[in-house]
Amino acid sequence: MRTMAISPQSPPSSSSALPPPSVALTQDDLKRIAAYKAVEYVRSGMVLGLGTGSTARHAVDRIAELLRRGELSGIVGVPTSTQTHQQALALGIPLSDLDAHPSLDLAIDGADEVDSHLNLVKGRGGSLLREKMVEGVCKKFVVIVDESKLVPYLGGSGLAMPVEVVPFCWKFTAGRLRQLFEDAGCTAKLRTFPETEKPFVTDNGNYIVDLYFKKDIGDLKAASDAILRLAGVVEHGMFLDMATTVIVAGKLGVEVLDK
């Protein structure tokens, strides 16, 4: 794994930019720095997977800016969610889908957790199925995060590891998911809107059961297989051996981690 550190005082060549070095960087500043670095991998004529979430939004904005300025051309985007589709459409990025482009040159997206092997947890924004479909067929998958997303093991942040499930008998499916990881102190909760307590519904019409772990779940591939064997499960938020590059923005600079 190759590591390259870049000072935040050496921003991308654009004028759009980043706060001057004397200004304290916010978490959103760090996300934008990582996103702009990731867009340096984009070349004219590419078919791109466009990620979803607060970090990926900066990358989509940046791609659109470079298209407007004529620094990129011939780009086709494949969005990973309705939200990103709407954003890219409003910005004038030409769009397509996997039916027309079953293989993509590059995808750029954020992540909720990254371990030392560049395995990821994604999907806390609810788009894990489409993200995995798109990012699974990319020649290069660049992940952009701030340093708070680095964890010793997946689930190590104590935050959700999402599983998309069909609505039919979701409680039954949630119970089976919890039982799979009893040894890791797992709890399984249906994702709901706090204001109404109505279930969150994905772009695919499914529910999300969020798993929370108190301990390391161990063999990730075995865990993945066990989850996917459960009838009622559509997909989970572990993205294993998929990222080719992770760009981490921190207070001291940008670190580029290559597989």
DSSP string for 107-132: EEEE-SEE-TT--EE--TTS-HHHHH
The residue type found at 45 is: G
Q: Are 106 and 50 in contact (CB under 8 A)?
A: no
Picking from 147, 120, 116, the residue whose alpha carbon sits closest to that of residue 254 is 147
Is 40 one of the catalytic residues? no
| Active-site entry in 113, 131, 164, 255 | 131
Please list, in sequence order, all residues whose beta carbon lies within 8 angstroms of the beta carbon of residue 221, skipping any fewer than 6 positions away: 240
Q: Where are the alpha helices (DSSP H) in 69-102?
A: 82-91
- C-alpha angle with apex 16: 13 to 19, nearest 5 degrees? 95
Q: Are 190 and 231 in contact (CB under 8 A)?
A: no
Q: Round to whole Å and give the CA distance between 48 and 86.
A: 16
Picking from 182, 154, 160, the residue whose alpha carbon sits closest to that of residue 240 is 154
Question: Which residues are tagged catalytic?
Answer: 131
